[in-house]
Homo-oligomer: A and B are copies of this chain.
Amino acid sequence: MKRSNWLGAMALSLGVSALAMTFTDHSQAQGLPEFTLQDVSSDVQMPWGMAWLPDGDMLVTDRNGELYRLSDGQAGSPIAGLPEIHVNGQGGLLDIVLHPEYETNGWLYISYSDPEGDGEGSNTSIMRAKLDGNRLSNQEVIYRAEINSTRGQHYGGRMIFNDGYLFFTIGDRGDHFTNVQDLSRDGGKTYRINDDGSIPQDNPFINVPNAKPAIWSYGHRNQQGIAINPLTGQIWTSEHGPRGGDEINIPEAGKNYGWPYVGYGINYNGEVLAEATHGAGMEQPIWYWDPSIATAGIEFVSSDRYPELKNHLLVGGLRGSKLELLEISDDRVIRSTDLITDSGRIRAIRQGPDGYIYLGIEGEGIKRLIPAN
């Protein structure tokens, strides 16, 4: 039987869908091209978060407590009107995102370590505000984690809008046994709120007595990367784990991701924390690193600038000093590759409105990922 006839017969027998041979993504058959990093700006030394204004200017947070607007890579004077920020260990001014309808409503959102509220030290807060010239106005704290701690660890602070909701992360604040598995306490969680800080009525714990109603998922150590899978619309996070236990997770409503009871790796002081890798009712990660690379920012590539990377996940390593590519298919990692090594400590990764991938690197500034030639 000739091939075309056979295909026709099969289509009749099996139904058309199994044989509709439409193909996409021709690029990978030839392997990955080389990539390099191109300098964009060295004006912000501790970049933590990046967002783009409609005119193409970039807003960049410096963890040391300043917010800058970069025009063509040049920072002007810091933007005024920030709240009081407790620059403490891993705390400081953290992430920045714009409202999806920024052009009409002007809201931007920052996360930071906030000394207000109960107790010594600080905890993570989310503020929304508008940009009025070179200063913030209309400031409103729309989430304030309780209670404060003098510890410098694990503020979390990554934010992203998805489906009209603001998702953000708060780490365990160095007190994993107290905070993380207790839904009545902040810390070690992913959160979902409306753009004004009110609580979506379908949040998973809204009817659980004493639970914080903004909680979306729990059992996390310190999620410092968040991104949206363009094929599924789900949020993915990186979790800076213990030594030998960095993770990628897909935080789903109401689920428990195990920390500090279930996980990979040991504490940095050698203490064994998560003694098991599996536990009933606790989710397994999508991927984990041992040894740890100290994951921070992550981003899915959705632009057409990098056909080989499209719909795959970029992960930055702080200690690993590299940019790693996780190729994703059906929510699985099907290959892992070092895309850039000796990159410096990659803290933030975001795809800009021009389709390029921008990296915020500690002590170096902002760079852009470029296919070599």
Contact = CB atoms under 8 A, between A and B. Distances in A.
Contacts of A21: 261, 279-281
Nearest to A22: B280
The 6 closest A-B pairs by CB, nearest first: A23-B276, A284-B329, A18-B281, A332-B332, A20-B280, A28-B277
B14 A276 contact: no
Interface residues of A, number: 63
A373 interface: no
Contact of A262 (B6, B23, B263): B23
B3 A182 contact: yes
Interface string A116-137: 0000000000000000000000
A208 B13 CA distance: 6
A17 interface: yes
Contact of A20 (B278, B281, B285): B281
Given A19-B281, A281-B18, A29 B275 contact: yes
Nearest to A178: B3
A276 B6 contact: no
Interface in A270-304: 272-281, 284-290
A276 B208 contact: no
A176 B30 CA distance: 19
A368 B43 CA distance: 57
Interface string A301-329: 00000000000000000000000000001
A18 B252 CA distance: 14
A335 B280 contact: no
